[in-house]
A and B are shown apart, each in its own frame.
Chain A
Amino acid sequence: MVTTAIGPSMAVDLGGIRMRNPINTASGTFGNGIQFEGFYDVGATLGAITCKGVSAVPWDGNPAPRLAELEGSAIMNSVGLQNPGVRGFVDRYGTYLQGLRDKGCQVICQVAGHSVREYVEALELFEELAPFASGFEINVSCPNIAKGGAAMGATPEAAAEVMSALRPLTKRPIVVKMAPHDVAQIGRALEAAGADALSLINTIPGMAIDVRTRKSRLARATAGVSGPAIHAIAVRMVWECAQAVSIPICGIGGVSSGADAAEMILAGATAVSVGTANLYDPTCARRVVDELTQWVREQGADDVNDLVGAFDA
């Protein structure tokens, strides 16, 4: 590789997923990467992408409307993990995702289920069919499905049960996507059950009521809030979790600039995902890589890892 200027080292290790830089994408906000190829060269730019959550068999997802925009830099969604199942996912995106790996971008496949058994079935299929996966993210925090999802990650015991069942199924790194509550306690339980890394936070459950009709603005009564408005909450939870565990964390929540990503890193995140901002600012993740690198340089650090958890409390 030819470099024109010696920059700081930006490479990080998210529990065995070796990323060229800390920037990842939050599941559900980046399609499966290919949708962004018209905007920039994903494989040559990002540290990793996290694909849309996939279950063993196809899921239809929730009825319309699935989206509302809120005042104050936030949106709500209740997509409900619409996906083509592991086989459909691999058929449609496998070749493209292997191409990302070949360019040096890691591919994290997200695993969804309604029960421990469904998570096991999905991960077994991924193990068999997805050689391109650098690792897996277990989504025990989706607020938009009727059973499973957030319920599976609601308590330390339930989260650890899923993790313990999945651990023997793969040697590849397992990241667990956490719900926005009790992150220290649940994080410790997941670490003890063999998680290689944690990612947090998922969307925050919320409600938006049309006061004229008295109905929800979405098809479901509750949905997940995301966007710049939740950033401060996410940073606090990353900080709390980072103090409780020794495995690396991927910080997620309202990141739309290098400064936002830097906050996550100072709070203790090793990697950082850009989420909702991908939707309205499709080149955001590329810009965050550049701005974060500039920040590391401005901090006088040779290595971004020296700044992980460097928050001066």
Chain B
Amino acid sequence: MSTTSQYDFEVMTNEQVAQDVWCMRCHTDLAALLSPGQFVNIQVPGNAAHVLRIPLSFSRTDAKARTLELVFAVVGEGTRRLSAMQAGQTSTMVGPCGKGWQLPTRKGRALLVAGGVGLPPIVACARMLTQAGVGFDAIVGAQTSDKHVDYLLDELRALAPCEGCDCARKVLVTTDDGSRGIRGFTTAAMRNMLAEHAYGTVYTCGPQPMMAGVAKLAASAGSDCQASLERMMGCGFGACSCCNVALASGGYALCCTDGPVFDAKEVAW
């Protein structure tokens, strides 16, 4: 039986945190029910001409304080209106939606690979791994330095190394144009990381071509790989079958209920 339902939320803060990227913190009872890697489907008020909700993953929840932190890119009319929501404004969100990150079944350090606004759910994943005592390295890419979300990078770096483990945590930053960190794509940095170290599980979220490359590298290195996919969505809870993901075995899964996190081996990239 589905547990996905509709919840009220109230905006606490909403501020720009990078070029075209906003961070909204809101108050909602839904915060207590979410697992890292799941998503919520948000009703943005103010324009009846756009009826669909906006599906967003989250970087952080606080079950006790009932707060949720969403970091999103402004890419269209809906996310522009979302970025304009003011403290105190209310609306509804549907959730918990989908299946989130799974703890690794394979021993060894994890590797996190984020591209663009794929970073927020990767930070939530990093927190989950840290709590479970799993060490990790990370590669975070963006098109330019201005598009990197600095406070999330700081959070990633600050996550304490796992106890009894000597991992000298690496958080590599890349930009497509070389304006910060390593010039080039995350996959190039990943290839170098894999040459130095064996990883049990790779976790990735970002543009689909990037994740396809990450999945391929992970497979050739013998690592497990979990990828969080993005699709245009009608409902977010399995009612309309609009958000199909092609499977390696043939046929389709639904991003909203079978994902958004998939075992990368199952996806026809």
Q: How far is the CA of A31 from the CA of B6 in the complex (A)?
A: 17
Q: How far is the CA of A37 from the CA of B4 in the complex (A)?
A: 8
The answer, yes or no, to whether A38 is at the interface (CB within 8 Å) is yes
The answer, yes or no, to whether B1 is at the interface (CB within 8 Å) is yes
B49 touches A36 (CB 8 A): no
A29 touches B240 (CB 8 A): yes
The answer, yes or no, to whether A228 is at the interface (CB within 8 Å) is yes
**Chain A contacts to B: CB under 8 angstroms:** 28-31, 34-39, 52, 60-69, 71-75, 77, 79, 82, 227-228, 276-283
**Chain B contacts to A: CB under 8 angstroms:** 1-6, 43, 48-53, 94, 231-235, 237-246, 250-252
CB-based A-B contact count at 8 angstroms: 109
B51 touches A228 (CB 8 A): yes
**Which of B231, B233, B242 is packed against the most chain A CB atoms within 10 Å?**
B242
Question: Using Cβ atoms and an 8 Å threshold, which residues of chain A touch B50?
Answer: 69, 71, 73
Question: Using Cβ atoms and an 8 Å threshold, which residues of chain B touch A52?
Answer: 241
Task: Knowing A38-B2, A38-B4, say if A65 contacts B241 (CB, 8 Å).
Answer: no
Q: Known contacts A66-B242, A280-B234; can you find 7 more A-B pairs with CB under 8 A?
A: A31-B238, A38-B4, A65-B231, A79-B244, A82-B241, A82-B244, A278-B239
Rank and list the top 8 A-B pairs by shortest CB-CB distance, nearest first: A67-B242, A31-B239, A38-B5, A279-B235, A279-B234, A38-B2, A35-B239, A38-B4
Task: From B4, B237, B241, B245, give the contact of A79 (CB < 8 A).
Answer: B241
Task: From B5, B52, B246, give the contact of A280 (CB < 8 A).
Answer: B52
Question: Using Cβ atoms and an 8 Å threshold, which residues of chain A touch B252?
Answer: 60-61, 64, 82
Q: Please, could you name 20 A-B residue pairs with CB atoms under 8 Å apart, sorted by A?
A: A34-B1, A35-B239, A36-B2, A36-B239, A38-B2, A38-B5, A39-B4, A60-B251, A61-B244, A64-B243, A68-B232, A73-B51, A75-B52, A75-B234, A79-B244, A278-B235, A280-B234, A280-B235, A282-B237, A283-B6
Q: How far is the CA of A69 from the CA of B43 in the complex (A)?
A: 14
Distance to closest chain A CB from B5 (angstroms): 4
Q: How far is the CA of A129 from the CA of B116 in the complex (A)?
A: 49
**Which of B241, B246, B251 is packed against the most chain A CB atoms within 10 Å?**
B241
